Amino acid sequence: MTAVQASDAFVFFGATGDLAYKKIFPALQAMIRRGNFDLPVIGVAWSGWGLDQLRQRARASLEEHGGGVNAAAFDKLCGLLRYVDGDYRDPSTFDALKTQLAGATRPLHYLAIPPSMFPVVVKHLGASGCADGARVVVEKPFGRDLASAKALSATIHTVFDESAVFRIDHYLGKEAVQNLLVFRFANTFLEPIWNRNYVDSVQITMAEDFGVQGRGAFYDEAGAIRDVVQNHLMQIVGFLAMEPPATTYQEAIRDEQVKVFRQIRPLKPTNLVRGQFVGYRKEPGVAKDSSVETFAALRLEIDSWRWDGVPFFIRAGKSMPVTATEVVVDLKRPPLTRLARGSGNHLRLRLGPDLQIGLGVQVKIEGDAMVGAPTELLMVHQHACDEMSAYERLLGDAMAGDPTMFARQDAVEAAWAVIDGVLGDATPVLPYDVGTWGPDASVHMADAVGGWNNPVQSS
């Protein structure tokens, strides 16, 4: 096996755009500060800018999104930064890029551009020789449905082998999401109970207490299912439900994850409730008669030996009462119900904005009666402030050539296959008020397992 070689140049298309501003410059500064980044950084865009303007943009980005400008790191970044201005449809743009690459043999190309531009950029990267030995990073959305996801991959594969494609789902780069793997597979006590014999149901809630934040035009093309369920929340399901990646083979984790996606039954309209917050249609960029969902609640069933009969309830919504992403694994009740009122035990894994692990237990109520009452042991609570950003982590992995925490084509397609049948208007979109937990129909969806566990706002 040949050793994986690190990238020797970092190229980002869409250098003057939003993603570069919010995520890429901050990640670059953070990597430089950590002392593990020293290679040419080449921004490409078609804005009529020069290098000085890009440097100013980088400064503004760091001020707004990078926790402030670190003088030493910023100087270093400015020294590494180069800029190519040109039309993505014009081969001379790629000749200029080739010149800037100055002999780099393993560049990393980050396509921080709309997917509609991928075919033309990929084609020219190939024709100009800039793709030789290169890796490519692409951002979600990875297609709009199963068919377009396949077409997108086919386009990229005309030039890049799948092993050179790094699809970023930033949830995979989150500390708390990666911790799911460690927590599950590095703790002996969990394995005996982590299955249909002891688990009653699993819930995942991704609540955001804000609306579409000026992204109406983008969001109205997507909706909650495409925006966060098909990718972020499915990754969480994969980590919760997969079998142990029992070998050190580099693809073991991704192999196990895709197996889970393939075992999930295609979602039926009866297992989905879609909602739209009141006022969404007045957002700039949103169609006045939009039927796009800003909330989705669904029930997944996994046809596997481990999970048969255990429902996975998933909820994601904008304009909810709080901002929090949380998993609750409810365990079956113990046999002697006279000792315990209410439900059995649970494990609560909070994935954002902070990391918490709580264990729901029954403890004897003080006094004469021999009965317990539910309480929760908060086992771990880490605030997110020092967290390495998901983008920093993932860009570092991509440059090192480690694909483990990136979405592989087969997994992307398997995740689409689960929801493909309910996309669009397969179910009605029901209104809900801002600051509530979604339409009534969703509130009652989980009644059979004791109802939804609503996360509380972080203190």
Interaction of residue 293 with ligand BG6, rule CB under 6 A = no
Restricting to residues 297-326, name those near ligand BG6 by CB under 6 A: 325
Q: With respect to ligand BG6, which residue has the nearer C-beta, 44 or 398?
A: 398
Interaction of residue 405 with ligand BG6, rule CB under 6 A = no
Tell me the closest approach of the beta carbon of residue 269 to ligand BG6, in angstroms: 24
Tell me the closest approach of the beta carbon of residue 365 to ligand BG6, in angstroms: 38
Q: With respect to ligand BG6, which residue has the nearer C-beta, 319 or 453?
A: 319
232 catalytic residue (yes or no): yes
**124, 232, 381, 444: the active-site residue:** 232
Cα distance between residue 361 and residue 376, in whole Å: 6
Q: Which residue lies nearest ligand BG6, judged by its C-beta? A: 227
Q: With respect to ligand BG6, which residue has the nearer C-beta, 202 or 229?
A: 229
Q: With respect to ligand BG6, which residue has the nearer C-beta, 227 or 392?
A: 227
Q: With respect to ligand BG6, which residue has the nearer C-beta, 200 or 208?
A: 208
Tell me the closest approach of the beta carbon of residue 287 to ligand BG6, in angstroms: 18
Checking 267-272 for CB contacts under 8 A at 24+ apart, the result is 267/298, 267/300, 267/418, 267/419, 267/421, 267/422, 268/421, 268/422, 269/421, 269/422, 269/426, 269/427, 271/298, 271/299, 271/300, 271/301, 272/296, 272/297, 272/298, 272/299, 272/422, 272/426, 272/427
Tokens linked to 421: 């049948």
Interaction of residue 220 with ligand BG6, rule CB under 6 A = no
In a 13 Å sphere around the CA of 184, the CA atoms on its Cβ side amount to 22
Q: With respect to ligand BG6, which residue has the nearer C-beta, 86 or 211?
A: 211
Q: Write out the DSSP string of 257-323.
A: HHHHHHHBPPPPGGGEEEEEETTGGGSTTS-TT----SEEEEEE-B-STTTTT--EEEEEESS-SS-
Cα distance between residue 459 and residue 456, in whole Å: 9
Interaction of residue 227 with ligand BG6, rule CB under 6 A = yes
Interaction of residue 228 with ligand BG6, rule CB under 6 A = yes
Tell me the closest approach of the beta carbon of residue 325 to ligand BG6, in angstroms: 6
Helix (H, G, I), strand (E, B) or coil at 55: helix
Tell me the closest approach of the beta carbon of residue 174 to ligand BG6, in angstroms: 7
Distance of CA 282 to the CA centre of its chain: 28
Tell me the closest approach of the beta carbon of residue 428 to ligand BG6, in angstroms: 22
Cα distance between residue 431 and residue 294, in whole Å: 10
Q: Would you say 407 and 231 are in contact if contact means Cβ atoms under 8 Å apart? A: yes
The 334-373 site mask, x for binding ligand BG6 (CB under 6 A), equals: ------------------x---------------------
**DSSP at 419:** H
Q: With respect to ligand BG6, which residue has the nearer C-beta, 185 or 219?
A: 219
Burial track 15-31 (b if 16+ CB lie within 10 A, e otherwise): bbbebbbebbbbbbbbb
**Binding residues for ligand BG6, total number by CB under 6 A:** 5
In the list 208, 220, 283, 293, the residue contacting ligand BG6 (rule: CB under 6 A) is: 208
Tell me the closest approach of the beta carbon of residue 355 to ligand BG6, in angstroms: 13
Of 285, 457, 445, the closest CA to residue 354 belongs to 457
Of 249, 158, 237, the closest CA to residue 411 belongs to 237
Of 27, 204, 44, 199, the closest CA to residue 111 belongs to 44
Active site positions, annotated: 232
Binding site for ligand BG6 (CB under 6 A): 208, 227-228, 325, 352
